[in-house]
Amino acid sequence: MKDIFSSIASYAEWVKDQKKPLGELASYLSDRIESVDKELHAFIGIDKKAITKRAADLEAKKTKGRLWALPVGIKNNICIKDALTTCASHILDGFRPPYNATVVEKLQAADALLLDGLNMDEFAFGSSCETSYYGPTRNPWDTTRIPGGSSGGSAASVASGEVAVSLGSDTGGSIRQPASLCGVVGFKPTYGRVSRYGLIAFASSLDQIGPITRNIADCAAMLEVISGYDPKDSTSANLDVPKYTEYLDRDIKGLRIGIPKEYFISGIEPGVGKRVKEAIDVFKKLGAELVDISLPHTRFAVSCYYIVGPAEASSNLARYDGVHYGYRSAGAKDLIEMYISSRNEAFGAEAKRRILLGTYALSSGYYDAYYLKALKVRTKIAADFKEAFKNCDVILTPTSPTTAFKIGEKINDPLTMYLSDVFTIPANLAGLPAASIPCGKDEKGLPVGLQLMAPAFEETVIIKAAHAFERNTDFHKDFAGARFKDNNEKI
């Protein structure tokens, strides 16, 4: 497949060279996605009519914004007005929001061409993109394997060349883990940096929207577009947004990189550990200073997360009752039976599991023992990071302990599945910015990602470090889309 999406700039150059109406290009892109998606299922569905309409609206504009005509995939839990938005769940069958998410408004203001409906784990509950009501997404590097989750469609669509960039959401690693497993860049900004207005909630104190791209420069550009204060989001930070792209091409000599002993454990696959250690050597050769640090409460992060996350999910998902919108069970004798039947029939197994776990943790007599204790542990985890950043500027870890596993391999073992996010969860609990960047492949030819974390609202440090690594390696140039035949290359 022709790699027209190696960067935002390369796509803009391709559009310029085509010298064709945007409607034709949009039709070509839709056909291209349909061709590749027969194997991947990165999209729940392609609305060609809506895409053509958006392209026509862009064509009619007298001025061209920063992202003019750039195809941006949108995860199916981010609201686009009148677009089918289901969170990959049957309970939201037919739901079309009457408003746009703030990030969508910002992308539209920059003249991006929005492509909605990227597949995901149901309500973002998962690490493999297998819990979608519409079926799993497949990894572009090996279609027998998972792409990661919950933003599996977002990562797979970028890695396969279906879109230039995409947006995902990250509650416990749902941008970074699939980015790692698909060999692309995924960036979770600081909690509060990007508005959550219009993001259908999983866990409101953890959720964050962020970009998935082919390289860190494009991530920086996307962050400039989508970041900023939003009065419609009460957790939005009223802070100026840095010019992230100005932190590219910076020297990292003397940058202090923390290496936490708790993240280099025996459970890491050998291929992952080897690639990450080689990446550490690259940083060392570039003049960075390696600092051994400790994050002692890391071992409690997964347990803490699976109390806080489900508790908030239980509260947030209580609104889906079959009354106002979405799926409603037929034939119920009374209101209570309708509530019970609608939720029982339309929520998937993982959604039910998390609702039950969360409801139990919040129930009378158990709140103090579980939820309140988890909040105290969360504070300890955040304090660990605060102490560590006194001695380093950025923290480097593996993103995932494994590369992509086979579809179906862990779906019936939720405890093993939950451990897929063991390295990404702490950043969400502490509200820190974190990114995954490609650092090679394992012995099976599957992508490996390394994670960089920084203090709150210090995304610029990650961008500086990640771009220095990219300039001295070629891992971000690997293109999974080359594996797919482009039947529409001539336009």
Active-site annotation holds for 2:
no
Helix (H, G, I), strand (E, B) or coil at 209: strand
Supply the DSSP symbol for 210: E
DSSP state of 90: G
Q: Is 195 a catalytic residue?
A: no
d(CA 158, CA 187): 14
Catalytically annotated residue among 7, 75, 195, 227? 75
Q: Give first-to-last CA distance, the chain, whole Å.
A: 14
Place of tokens 């061409």: 113
Residues near 474 by Cβ (< 8 Å), separated by ≥ 6? none
In one letter, which amino acid is 212? I
Helix axes 301-316, 349-362, angle to 10 degrees: 100
Q: Which H or E run contains 304? A: helix 301-316
Catalytic residue among 7, 89, 174, 342: 174
Q: What angle do CA 328, 87, 410 make, to 5 degrees?
A: 110
What are the tokens at 134?
């519409």
- The sign of the torsion formed by the CA atoms of 243, 249, 254, 257 equals positive
* DSSP states along 125-187: --SSS---TT----BTTBTTB---SSSHHHHHHHHTTSSSEEEEE-SSSTTHHHHHHHTSEEE
Q: Would you tell me how many other CB atoms lie within 10 Å of the CB of residue 330?
A: 8
10 annotated active-site: no
SS (HEC) of 271-289 = HHHHHHHHHHHHHHHCCCE
Catalytic residue, from 6, 150, 154, 236: name it: 150
Residue with tokens 């802070």: 239
Q: Which residues are catalytic?
A: 75, 150, 174
